[in-house]
Structure 1
Amino acid sequence: MKQLRTDLTLGRYMELAHDMRKEGYLLFALSVEDEIVSLAGVRKSINFYNKHHLFVYDLVTNPTQRSSGHGERLLDYIHSYAKRTGAEYVALESGIMRSKAHRFYESKMGYEKWCYSFRKKI
């Protein structure tokens, strides 16, 4: 997770993860030979535009293991989990500069780019 969330200290990560778990956050891991190679953090949610959906907050694969099919396998599992739990969609956000990840989501995994996400620090 540190590879994706470089700004978080371990203490802050643990604090946020504790609060997120109360809201239904789940962390899925894919391991190869007892080494975690890919992680995804998700939460079931509901709103007017995605209806019942599973939101992927964090998806990261170890850089030395990328292009080995691990991210695809983990997302396939997440799609199955979402379907089993009644979700209509799986949604995620990806940083603007992550063009390789965008190609993966769209070309390989069948996601559609359909909106922009904005935020403002308060």
Structure 2
Amino acid sequence: MSPILTASTDSDILKCRRAVQALRPLLTNEAYEIAIRKTLADNRLMIFAEENNEAAAIAVFETGYNLFRGKYIYIDDLSTLPEYRGKGYAGKLLDWIFDFARKENYDQIHLDSGVSESRTDAHRLYLNKRFEVASLHFTAKL
């Protein structure tokens, strides 16, 4: 398995497109680059594991500080291409984030995950990585 890389160049960002779209299928090829650049400009990083000159899996996370969480990381996106699922890529990305958080003295790592039968494997991974179900997340669309 390849090392974890930070997507920082145009080439890296393009390598990650299919893995991002596996989680965000409404993100068209035409909208992808603008959306990723806006996302990364908002205090976020995208990391990936590369196989065959593309990202087998990606994670996008923000860093910040607030009164509730202290110094935190929030994982926005964690996605693995279907042909690489079940091979440890997402776990390796999470391990990288945990190592980064420890080195940079973050207090907490957060993520939200949709609830459906198709998310069972993801939830199993999060629980195995010692995440706790800590709250309900409410949303009001405007």
Cα distance between partner residues in 2 of 1:71 and 1:7: 22
Give the CA deviation at 1:119. 1.1
Q: Relative to total residues, which structure has the larger helix share, 1 or 2?
A: 2
Extract structure 1 runs of 4+ deviating beyond 4 A: none
Q: Which moved more, 1:4-13 or 1:93-102?
A: 4-13
1:8-32 CA deviation, whole Å, 9 max, x = no partner?
A: 2233333332222222111100113
TM-score by length of 2: 0.77
Identity rate of aligned residues, in percent? 26
Report the counterpart of residue 102 of structure 1 in structure 2. Answer: 123
Among 26, 41, 44, the alignment partner of 2:63 is 44
Q: SS where residue 118 of structure 1 aligns? A: coil
Letter in 2 for 1:112: E
Letter in 2 for 1:104: L
Report the counterpart of residue 116 of structure 1 in structure 2. Answer: 136
- Equivalenced residue count is 121
Give the CA deviation at 1:69. 1.1
Report the counterpart of residue 88 of structure 2 in structure 1. Answer: 69
Give the CA deviation at 1:33. 4.4
Among 106, 109, 122, the alignment partner of 1:90 is 109
1:55-105 CA deviation, whole Å, 9 max, x = no partner?
A: 110000111111111111111011111222221111111111122211110
Report the aligned-residue RMSD.
Answer: 1.5
Where does structure 2 lack aligned partners over 5 or more consecutive residues? Answer: 1-19
